[in-house]
Amino acid sequence: MSLKKEIPVRKLRHNPKTGLLEPVAATEPFLKGPIPIWWIEKAAHLPGKTLAVGMAIWWLRGMAQDKPFKLTQKALDTLAVSPDAAYDGLRRLEAAGLVKVTRAPGQRATIDVLLA
C-alpha cells in the first residue's frame, strides 16, 4: 500500500475576452509526426526494447519541438522500458545512426534524432 497521495492538478488558461482563468480539457499523450517509416523500420530490426526506446524518443522529441532533449524516466515507464533496456536501446539506436547522443558525467544523455 502506497502512502503517497495524489494531488489533483487542473490546468488553467487565461481567457483574454473575460479576463478569467478557465479550465483546460486534459489531453492524452501522443506521438507527433511525421515519423519516417524508414526510421521505424530500422529501429524495429534492432534487438530488445530498442523500438520502444525509439518511440519514447519520438514522443519527447515532439514535446521538445525538434531541439535536443533528455530521455525521461516517465517516458520509459510509460512504454515499459527498464533502465538497463533503455541504456542498451539508446546505444543500439546510436550505433545504427538513428540518434546522436551527447553524454556528460552525472547527467542523463542528451539526444538528437538523425533524419539523414
pLDDT at 52 over 70: yes
Q: Within 13 A of 45's CA, how many CA atoms are on the CB side?
A: 8
Q: Provide the pLDDT confidence category of residue 49 given band limits of 50, 70 and 90.
A: very high
Confidence check: pLDDT of 6 > 90: no
6 assigned to some structural domain: no
Q: What are the tens digits of pLDDT across the range 26-45?
A: 778 888 889 999 999 999 99
Residue 102: CATH number of its domain? 1.10.10.10
Q: Is residue 84 in a domain?
A: yes
pLDDT at position 9 = 63
Give pTM, 2 decimals. Answer: 0.78
Host domain of residue 53: 37-113
- Cα separation, 113 vs 10, in Å, equals 32
Number of domains comprising the chain? 1
